[in-house]
Amino acid sequence: MYDLQQMTWPEIKEALNQAKLAVIPIGAHEQHGPHMVESCDAVLAKRMADKLATRLHPLTIVAPTITMGVSPHHMNFPGTISLQPETMVSLLRDITVSLKHHGIINFLWLNAHGGNQSTLSIACQKLSVELDVTIYYAKTTASASEVYKDYISSSPFGHSCEREVSEAYYLAPELLREDCLQGGQLNENPRWRHLRPGNPLQGFYHYEEMTKNGCIGDATRGSYELGEKIVETALERLEEEIRFLLYTQHSVNNL
């Protein structure tokens, strides 16, 4: 695996003869309830990026992780640090410009924080055209959605829940406080339910409107085995898609 943070410039120069894609892990620094540390998303993004790059070696390099994200909805829980969307876009632009200078023109933004997704969508559209590069973005394990359906019954889930805890058991167990695992303590106030994805209206709400302890789902149902199913299924799908797109791009460029 090629990891820019662990390489010298001569090693990087040699790797760039083969690498076709830069993976940029993107996380957040935000509350994850009483049982997951606040670096959770950044660490999980990096561990997923490393595993994906190992599968795709020598076609990929892993860039340094963006460790903070767009997290205003978590700000009223202590410790959360949030970027403005414009800051995230500027960071991505500067990283992309730098790596393009070294010859990389294909990028995967591998994101572990749902709150970043709308910003990444806009940034992808904007920077792809502005910088004349190819950018893909993906939520780390979203492509394993059928595993969620088979093994997760909580509704809603998605933050410091059995899915995220399971991913941590498999990828980074040091993120967990196992003696503090608990389910989400959802508030009765129905406003947040009317603004969730999939509803007729969308809108902003603070996370404490939704849950008293900062969690949803049921973390006590998380396991290493479920984490392995989720992570490995997602990695298989991501690897397959990336290989196809890189092959297709190479074939088109050689017409």
| 10-42: burial string, b at 16+ Cβ within 10 Å, e else | eeeeebbeebbbbbbbbbbbbbbbebbbbbbbb
pLDDT along the chain (255 residues), means of 10: 98 97 98 98 98 98 98 98 98 98 98 97 98 98 97 95 98 98 92 85 93 97 98 98 88 55
CATH number, span 2-253? 3.40.50.10310
Q: How many residues does the chain have?
A: 255
Which pLDDT score, from 0 to 100, does residue 253 have?
A: 66
For strands 60-62 and 134-139, give the pairing: unpaired
Helical residues (DSSP H) of 6-161, grouped into ranges = 9-15, 40-56, 85-101, 117-131, 145-151
Which pLDDT score, from 0 to 100, does residue 188 have?
A: 86
